[in-house]
């Protein structure tokens, strides 16, 4: 039950990456697959997943708001240490010049951002206590938005090398979780905001994934219910948009760059460091109470997660 994460065989680590399981957009250079390192880091994240599900979301575990807050802070530190422990080879977002984007490294970073969102969401609504701390809520909204934006960045980068239409299941789940955050911000900022494009992109990717995963269909249904409840109008499935994935695979799976504010190194350039704002959003004028209520009436956002067997 407590197997060591120290792997002694480095053959799988240095074996050249084979793109035969992935639809590539352009020829891929010879790089190590880093299978051992990736497996180790995935295993480490699963221990954090267990803590979040059992100590934050479990209805059977009674605890005071103070205890919940203490646990949340401890898990935040655990996630922070995990991200800092990633080698430059695995963290292409932080070290673009020392790494290469592998499908599983993209999934690894996407899962990390999913956990950031799942950890901070209860803090926006005040958790089981229902008391909303405005400072904590605002910090959590920022954390969730930053993580959701980074997932969109990963999706964009992935589309430059591989086909999003056949992406691993983890990216599909991350797409859904990212979309639930973008929907809340769009409800406050309106459909003319740049984050609206991120929401439509995520929805279109989920639509494409319904052909691959039954859970993606359920996720899209849940997302559509949330979008409808928030009063957001989205393009019809058959309507062409700047974020359309109808021509996947390909570099067409991008947002209209001319309307997207660029960071220091520019979007959609993938050389965006960890913590850099992907979309330069002003969140100070958000109605935190309205956002909190939006989370409280959320559809079953964890049902997609449960299909992973968690």
pLDDT in tens, 122-175: 887 765 455 566 778 788 888 999 999 999 999 999 998 898 888 999 999 999
Q: What are phi and psi of 32, to 5 degrees?
A: -70, 145
* For range 280-305, the mean pLDDT: 54
The interaxial angle of helices 134-161 and 288-296, nearest 10 deg, is: 70
Q: Are 220 and 210 in contact (CB under 8 A)?
A: yes
Q: What is the pLDDT of residue 208?
A: 92
Helix intervals (H) in the chain: 11-14, 35-51, 65-85, 103-125, 134-161, 169-189, 195-209, 214-229, 288-296, 303-306
pLDDT over 70 at 70, yes or no: yes
d(CA 303, CA 305): 5
Using DSSP, state whether 296 is helix, strand or coil. helix
Mean of the per-residue pLDDT values of the chain: 76
* For range 22-39, the mean pLDDT: 82
């Amino acid at each position: 039950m407590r197997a060591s994460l120290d792997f002694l065989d480095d053959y799988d680590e240095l074996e050249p990456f084979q793109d035969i399981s992935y639809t590539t957009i352009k020829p891929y250079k010879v790089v190590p697959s880093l299978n051992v390192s990736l497996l180790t880091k995935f295993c480490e994240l699963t221990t954090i997943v267990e803590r979040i599900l059992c100590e934050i979301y479990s209805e059977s575990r009674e605890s005071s708001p103070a205890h919940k807050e203490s646990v949340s802070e401890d898990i935040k530190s655990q996630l922070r240490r995990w991200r800092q422990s990633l080698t430059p080879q695995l963290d292409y977002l932080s070290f673009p010049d020392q790494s290469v984007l592998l499908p599983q490294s993209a999934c690894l970073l996407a899962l990390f951002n999913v956990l950031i969102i799942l950890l901070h969401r209860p803090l926006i609504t005040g958790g089981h206590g229902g008391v909303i701390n405005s400072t904590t809520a605002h910090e959590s909204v920022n954390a969730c938005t930053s993580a959701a934006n980074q997932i969109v960045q990963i999706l964009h980068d992935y589309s430059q090398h591989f086909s999003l239409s056949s992406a691993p299941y983890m990216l599909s789940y991350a797409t859904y979780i990212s979309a639930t955050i973008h929907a809340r911000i769009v409800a406050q900022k309106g459909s003319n905001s740049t984050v609206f494009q991120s929401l439509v992109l995520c929805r279109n990717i989920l639509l494409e994934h319904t052909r691959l995963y039954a859970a993606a269909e359920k996720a899209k249904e849940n997302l559509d219910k949330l979008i409808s409840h928030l009063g957001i109008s989205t393009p019809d499935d058959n309507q062409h948009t700047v974020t359309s994935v109808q021509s996947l695979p390909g570099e067409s799976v991008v947002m209209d760059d001319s309307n997207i504010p660029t960071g220091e190194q520019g979007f959609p350039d993938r050389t965006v460091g960890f913590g850099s704002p992907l979309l330069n959003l002003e969140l100070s004028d958000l109605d935190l109470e309205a956002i909190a209520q939006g989370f409280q009436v959320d559809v079953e956002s964890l049902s997609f997660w449960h299909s992973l067997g968690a």
